[in-house]
Amino acid sequence: HPKDCCQLPSLIDEELLRNCKTLYGGEPLQRKLIYERGKCFVECALNATGTLVGGVLDQAKILHVIVTATQNDPAVMQLFQSSTLQCFQTVGAGGGGGASSPAGCSSLGVDFVGCVNIKNFVNCPPHIWSNSAQCNALRQYILECPQPF
């Protein structure tokens, strides 16, 4: 699993996520439902932190959350900031972006978080990277895939 290879800190407090997990996660789901619920879960989590307001990502607030959560590790802070700024450019800042599902959840949040996660993984700082054959093979595989962002 990618999290076993690059052990980055969570930027969102578990307490804030609890309600979103109750609403949009848990039971085994069919593939289509996983994506729909995933969009709603991520949107809920971003709303809970105030980083997504009215369907628009708040770049300043996102960067503030990053600094607060990673201040003890400058390399991780720089990675998150760089990935965030790149994804903000490619995925978009919101305001008309992101298709809504029947449940009313936009794909903007999940696309943005997915973009950041991929960039963080492939650029993981050496001091938190698990330098195993499996992790290196996974990173190489991801690097060779066409990137959606």
Q: Quick: pLDDT tens for 94-106.
A: 544 455 444 578 8
> What is the rounded average pLDDT of the residues 121-130?
95
The confidence score (pLDDT) of residue 1 equals 77
Q: Quick: pLDDT tens for 39-85.
A: 888 899 999 999 999 889 999 999 999 999 998 999 999 999 999 99
- Structural domains of the chain ordered from first start: 2-144 (1.10.238.270)
Q: Which residue has the higher pLDDT, 27 or 119?
A: 119
SS (H, E, C) the chain: CHHHHECCCCCCCHHHHHHHHHHHCCCCCCHHHHHHHHHHHHHHHHHHHCCEECCEECHHHHHHHHHHHHCCCHHHHHHHHHHHHHHHHHHCCECCCCCECCCCCECHHHHHHHHHHHHHHHCCCHHHECCCHHHHHHHHHHHHCCCCC
> What is the rounded average pLDDT of the residues 23-51?
76
